[in-house]
Amino acid sequence: MAHTPATASPLSAVDVHRTYHLAGHDLPVLKGVNLEVQAGERIFLCGQSGAGKTTLLYVLGGLEKPSRGDVLVHGTSLYHGPAKARAVLRNQTMGFVFQHYFLLPELTALENVCLPAMIGGKKAEARARELLDRVGLTQRLDHLPTELSGGEQQRVAIARALINDPGILYADEPTGNLDASTGAGVIDMLMQIVAESRKTLVVVTHDQQLAKRGDRRLILRDGALVEE
């Protein structure tokens, strides 16, 4: 994988295309997306349902390979190297928060938070306890996901995203399954953590009020990004 100097921005998309092949037809979703994100910047991606916001987030996060183009993380190509290198880069530099939480049902809150660190070969129980305390779940460490409310599950997911101290956090509709009050509390906490630790944040949301809280609001329209 090619490397550039350490001054490279934490995240860049270069002419990213993504086309799906469905029932013999091509469905282009991303049509040449270019994006440069600065360190500590908070970007909110908006757009109509079906515009490809989640697809773009997955491509930026190394979860879905683009049909054409590339994504650079601190100057390192995500897609021009082997899949194993991409997985390592993703584990070490990125954290993910999803709308549906994706907690493993058989693991406790503490064990779920520890999981990305274990994948990276690290022991992190002490840090996991600190993070769960940080998100207000000190008393819920040994609870299974089914024993937690939606808001609590999303807080566990945020703690899990932070366990490896990634420089970039991705959040895909993080309040989509929560009521307005609970969602506002989760976002307040996420934004505070990001500000305190100076992390780069990329959020997909359909909530225009929420999107105003970012440094930039970008609209995905006709397969390309428009800044508003």
Residue 228's pLDDT is 74
Q: Where are the domains of the chain?
A: 39-67+77-227
pLDDT in tens, 91-105: 999 999 999 999 999
Residue 7's pLDDT is 59
Query: Mean of the pLDDT values across residues 217-225?
Result: 93
Model confidence, pTM: 0.92
According to DSSP, residue 145 is labeled G
DSSP calls for 29-81:
EEEEEEEEE-TT-EEEEE--TTSSHHHHHHHHTTSS--SEEEEEETTEESSSS
pLDDT at 89 over 80: yes
Residue 207's pLDDT is 86
- Per-residue exposure over 142-178, b if at least 16 CB sit within 10 Å of its own CB, e if not: ebbbeebebbbbbbbbbbbbbbbebbbbbbbbbbebb
Query: Domain 39-67+77-227 class?
Result: alpha beta
Residue 208's pLDDT is 84
Residue 22's pLDDT is 87
pLDDT in tens, 146-199: 999 999 999 999 999 999 999 999 999 999 899 989 999 999 999 999 999 999
Residue 227's pLDDT is 84
- Would you place residue 209 in the very low, low, confident or very high pLDDT band (cuts 50, 70, 90)? confident
Q: For all residues of the chain together, what is the average pLDDT?
A: 92
pLDDT in tens, 99-125: 999 999 999 999 999 999 988 788 899
24 token code pair:
């013999």
What gap in Å lies between CA 37 and CA 28, rounded to an integer? 24
pLDDT in tens, 30-72: 999 999 999 999 999 999 888 999 999 999 999 999 999 999 9
Count of Cβ atoms closer than 10 Å to residue 110 Cβ: 19
Residue 199's pLDDT is 95
Residue 138's pLDDT is 94
Residue 195's pLDDT is 92
Residue 9's pLDDT is 81
